[in-house]
Amino acid sequence: MKIVRTDMGIETPRLDEKLMARGHELVLLPDGVREDELCKEVSNCELLLMCYTPVTAKVIAAAPKLKGIVKYGVGIDAIDIPAAHAQGIKVVNIPEYADETVAEGAFAMLIALAKRIPALQNEMQSKSWAWPRSEWIGSDIAGKTLGIVGCGRIGSNMARMAGAGFRARVIGYDPYKSRDEMAGKGIEKYDDLTEMLGECDFISLHAVLNKETKNLIGASELAAIKPTAFLVNASRGALVDEMALLKALEEKQIAGAGLDVFSQEPLNKKDHPLRRLYWMENVILLPHLTFYTAEAMQRLEAETLERCLEIIENRTVTIKSTDPRLKK
C-alpha cells in the first residue's frame, strides 16, 4: 500500500519504520507542500497522514484509492471532512496523546508570567543582575483565581494542577459541561463568560475551535479582564481576536499573555500582523510546541500506528474524539 505522510519536519521515526517494515511504500512530503504537488502524490495512495498541511476537497478528489486520512495530532480544521466522508474516506485524529503535556506547557507559561521570568531573564542577560525593585515584583498563584475557558481533558488537567497543586481557586466557562461535571473536576462553573473573565487573575484557553468559538475572546471580553490579569492560550490562535489582544497589551489593558498558538503560523519578525509581540517583555511566545515532549511523541506515534493499521486492515476505526465532525 502506498502511504503519504505530509509535514515530514515533524519527526516520527518509530511510526515510519514500522509502516515500512510491514512492506508499505511510504512517501514523505515537506511542510508547506503545494496543493498541486500533494494532488499528484495522492493520486495512487490509499492512506494519507497529515498534521498541518491542508487536505482540501481538491486533494480528496484527486485520490480515488484513498481509504483514510489520519491526523497525527488533535486539530482537524485543515481537513475537508464532508468531502472525505462523501467519498467514503475515514477520517480520524489522535486527541488524547498530550492532554497533560499541553496543560503542563500552559501552566509553565502561567508561572513564568506570574514570576516575571522573561523580563528578569532579559535583565540578567543585558545587565548581569536585577535588584528587588517594584518593576520586578511578581505575584503568587496560591489564593488567586484561575479561569479556564473550555473544560475538557486539557482544561481539566490545568484545573487539577492549579487547584490541588497551587491552592488556586478555579472557575470555568464551558456551555457543554454541566455544573456537576465541572464541580467534580474542581471547577466552579460560570454561565456568563464576561462575568467569569472579570473575576480572574489568570485565564487559560482550552476550547475547541469551531464557528461558535472563533474570536470568542474579542475586544469586549478583553475589556472585562482586570489590568493585573494574564491570558494564556495553548489551544487555538483563532479563539482570540488577535489584533484586539495586541491592542490590549500595547495599551496595558491586561498584564501580559503567554501564547503558543496563532491564527497565522509561523510567526515572523518581518511582516506578520503580530510581530510587535516579539518586543514585549510581558509576553511569552512559543512556536506551537507545548505538545512536544519525548513522552507525548511516543504516545502519538504508537496511537497513530494503531489507527493506520485499523484502516489498512479494514477494521473498525477507533474514534476517540468527541468532535461531532468526525461522526458520520
Please give the positions annotated as active site: 236, 265, 288
| Strand boundaries in the chain, DSSP class E | 2-5, 25-28, 47-50, 68-71, 90-93, 145-149, 169-173, 188-189, 202-205, 230-233, 256-259, 283-285
Task: Give Cβ neighbours of residue 216 (< 8 Å, ≥ 6 apart).
Answer: 149, 193, 205, 207, 239, 240
Cell of 327: 461522526
- One-letter amino acid of 255: A
CA distance 276 to 246: 8
Burial of 162-181, coded b for 16+ CB within 10 Å and e otherwise, reads bbeebebbbbbbbeebeeee
DSSP 174: -
The amino acid sitting at 132 is P
Q: DSSP letter string over 122-160?
A: HHHHHHS-----GGG----STT-EEEEE--SHHHHHHHH
Whole-number Å distance between alpha carbons of 68 and 46: 7
Q: State the burial class of residue 111 (Cβ atoms within 10 Å of its Cβ: 0-12, 13-18, 19+).
A: middle
Specify the 3-state DSSP secondary structure of 22. Answer: coil
